[in-house]
Each structure stands twice: as C-alpha cells, then as structure tokens.
Amino acid sequence: MSIEKEMKDAINDQINFEMESAYLYLSMAAFFEDEELPGFANWMKCQYMEETMHAMKLFNFLIERGGQIKLKTISAPEGNWDSYSEVFEETLKHEEFITSKINKLVTLSRKLEDYASESFLMWYVDEQVEEEDSVKKILTKLNRIESNANALYQLDSELSSRALSPLAVPTIMGQPTE
C-alpha cells in the first residue's frame, strides 16, 4: 500500500526541517571556526552531517513507500551569537522544536493507522531523546565554566573527538545501513 497524501506531505515537511537543521548547525560550525574553537566547530559539523543523514533517511523511506519528494526552500540561518552558551541554548531550543515535529508525525501515523510510518518514526523519537540530552550536557558544562579559558579549551578538546558512527549513516541510494 502506498503512503497517504497527508503523511507524504508531512514527511516532505520533515525533510525540510532536517535540512534547515543541518544548515543551522553548519552556520554554528562557521561561528566556532571564526572563534578559533575547532572542537566546537567539529561538534557542529557532526551535527550538520547527522541532520543531513536524518533527512536522507526520511527521503529513502518516502521513496520506498511510493511517495514523491517535494523539496522546499531553506532559509538562511542565524550566523552570530553573543556567547557560546547562547549557541547551545539555541541548539537545544531547535532540537526541542524538531522533537515536537517528530511527535506530530507519530500522532499523524497513528491517526492514519499507518503502522509502517509509525514503526519507522520511532527511531526518530529515540534519536531526539539522545539529541536533547547531548546538547543539555554541553550547555551545563558551558554554564559551569563560564569565562574560565582553560576549562573552555578543555571542553573544546573534548568536543573535537566527536565522530559519526558508521551505523548512523544511511546510504544515499537504497536501504539505510541500520
């Protein structure tokens, strides 16, 4: 059975939200590069790649279900922040926004009795718990260290070790690797 139009449209919207997320995180990576904090920039670049992969996972799912992809405009993200904490506060706020969108997709899948979409979307529900937790932990550390330069550079070093898991990477064509 092919996917219903309402779900198809909602997934297309979510692809756009994920790509806007990627673009926002790329902007944040550029901000941290300008601040000469390569670890923070690395963390945001990983976020950028992860959000792009989330979009591709939705893209692949929609194709598998017989849905048509309709890409939309991505608006320019913010590029300047007053503090490093502000960047992560915006990141958390954005992830909470994405969580609300994923929850609405799950609600829609249940309303439409689209169990394939519901099952697929549960990965995103779990992923959003992880996303929000990760950002909260960094924000807590940033708030604790405030203006301590040594602690900031230690956190920068910690964030430079982030790398994407190969299992998190869906293929561009065909099935996700998971």
pLDDT band at 2 (very low <50, low <70, confident <90, very high): confident
CATH code for position 77: 1.20.1260.10
Query: Do 145 and 84 touch, CB atoms closer than 8 A?
Result: no
Q: Is 70 part of any domain?
A: yes
pLDDT tens per residue, range 55-71? 999 999 999 999 999 99
Q: Is 175 part of any domain?
A: no
State both tokens at 109: 């899948």
pTM for this prediction: 0.89
Q: Is 125 part of any domain?
A: yes
Domain span holding position 68? 5-168
Residues 62, 156: Cα–Cα separation, whole Å: 38
What is the maximum alpha-carbon separation in the chain?
A: 58
Q: Is 177 part of any domain?
A: no
Q: Which helix (H) or strand (E) holds 103?
A: helix 84-111
Least confidently predicted of 14-28, 100-114, 154-168:
154-168
How many separate domains does the chain show?
1
Q: Is 173 part of any domain?
A: no
Q: Is 102 part of any domain?
A: yes
State both tokens at 69: 């992809």
